[in-house]
Each structure stands twice: as C-alpha cells, then as structure tokens.
Structure 1
Amino acid sequence: MGEKIKVSCKIPQEWEAKIELLAKERKTQTSKIIYEALAQYLGENANTDDSRLNALEVEVTMLKRQLAELTILIKNQQPNSLVKLPKVQTNVDDDDDFIEDEPDEILYDFLPPEER
C-alpha cells in the first residue's frame, strides 16, 4: 500500500448519523469507520488498531460484567418475593379421556372430483 491521500464525497445526512453512531459505539473516529467500510468494499485489509473484532470483544466483556451483576442481584433477592406458580398435573387418570389421532370420518374435499 502506497502513500495515503485524502478523498471526499457528499453523503445523505442519514448516513452521517449512522456513521457517527457506529463511531460512538466503537469509541473511534468517523474517518476510521469510513476507511474500514471502503477497505471492506474493495476487499482490502484495513489494518486499523480498532478492528471490529476488538470492538466486539470489548462489548462481550461489558455484557459479561453486566450479567454477573444481574446474577448477584437475583441471588440477593428474598425467596418470599418470588411468585410461586401452581403445579400442573400432567398424568392422565382415565383411558376415557384419551383422544385419538385419527378423525372419525375421512375428508375427501381436497381430492379432484373424479377420485371422490
């Protein structure tokens, strides 16, 4: 890769908002977002220190920390504060309540008239 040059183009305001949001989420500059997008489009390696993988690793670490905090909060809750659900009876008492899988009558409506 040779010397870097500066390029510019006009983009819709909606794109600018999306680029700024991505940059904020990844804690990087908007120019790096645009650089990486162009590199990806051209099939080139962006070679930036702030790669998408690094950003995802940071996000996963943050989510793990939040999950651990939530787990601690749930464990510290009073057992009496939990809602108790009623037990559901799942066994069948009588054979009279048994429902057959086959219908009592055979439906022919879906067949062509010559096959009815």
Structure 2
Amino acid sequence: MMSEFPDDRTVNIAIPQEWVNQLQERSRQTGRPISELLREAVGQYLAIDILTSSPSPVELELLKREVSDLRRKLFVLEKTAVSLELLESRVATLERRVGWGTVTPGLSNPPVVDDDDEEIYDEPDEILTDFLPD
C-alpha cells in the first residue's frame, strides 16, 4: 500500500474502545478517514500549524472539505434564521389581526349568540341586576 506522504511512518498504538467509537462517529460525520483525524490530532498536539508551513496536497484537500462543510452549515443556519424571522413576523401580523397580544388556545371559538336573544338587548340597569335572585 502506497503511503500518502513519501516519508510517512506508520505507528501502531493501543487506545480505549471508547476512543475508537468516537473516532468512528467523527469519521462518519465528517466523511474523513480515521487516519486523517488521528494525523490532525497528533499535529495539533505537537503544535504543528498547517497554515504556517506549505500544506501538502492531502492537507489542502482536507482544508477544502472543511471549508465546504462549514459553508454548507452556514447556509443552513442562515436559511433557518430567515425562516424564523419570517415566521415571527407572520405570528405578529396574525396577532394584530386577531386583536390579541397572545393567542390563548381556549378562546379560539367565541360563544355564539342568536340575533333574537333578548338578553343582549337588556337595559343597563337590568344588566347590573340580572345576577341577583328575584
């Protein structure tokens, strides 16, 4: 098998199964091989800054993928923010149309009153005394 770098060395180490699981999950999420993730982690541990040295073609490809992934995530977040703003604006408009500050679920169906209901046409003094026993 040909190495990605001509002077690469292979290192075998034993790591806990939990780390293996986390590496597999991160690899699945990012679409990057576990070997790249480990190489990046070792590089960070040794304080190797990819941007200060000439990046290899593999490192450039890795950076391109990361930038592409970040752009996709930013697009989704911006789209979500715009959707939330539109929804918030729509809710505010509906609240103004209904005339309520907030919509209360129990008040969605106001009581129905017949046109011939005489109690609606009570005199003011009758309205004030209707609740008293006769």
What TM-score do the two structures reach when normalised by structure 1?
A: 0.52
Are residues 1:42 and 2:42 paired? no
Q: After the TM superposition, which parts of structure 1 deviate over 6 Å for at least 4 consecutive aligned residues?
A: none
1:16 is matched with 20
What amino acid is the match of 1:7? V
CA distance in structure 2 between the aligned counterparts of 1:4 and 1:70, rounded to whole angstroms: 49
Distance 1:45 1:67, change over 3 A: same
Distance 1:64 1:24, change over 3 A: farther
User: Offset of 1:11 from its aligned partner?
Assistant: 1.0
Q: RMSD across aligned C-alpha pairs, in angstroms?
A: 3.1
Q: Which 5+ residue runs of structure 1 have no aligned equivalent?
A: 85-116
1:64 to 78, 96, 118: 78
Q: Which 5+ residue runs of structure 2 have no aligned equivalent?
A: 104-134
2:102 is matched with 83
What amino acid is the match of 2:90? N
Q: Identity of counterpart residues, as a percentage?
A: 20
User: Offset of 1:16 from its aligned partner?
Assistant: 1.5
Bigger CA drift: 55-64 or 65-74? 55-64
Q: Mark the structure with the bigger radius of gyration.
A: 2
| Greater fraction helix | 2
CA distance in structure 2 between the aligned counterparts of 1:16 and 1:34, rounded to whole angstroms: 11
User: Offset of 1:82 from its aligned partner?
Assistant: 6.0
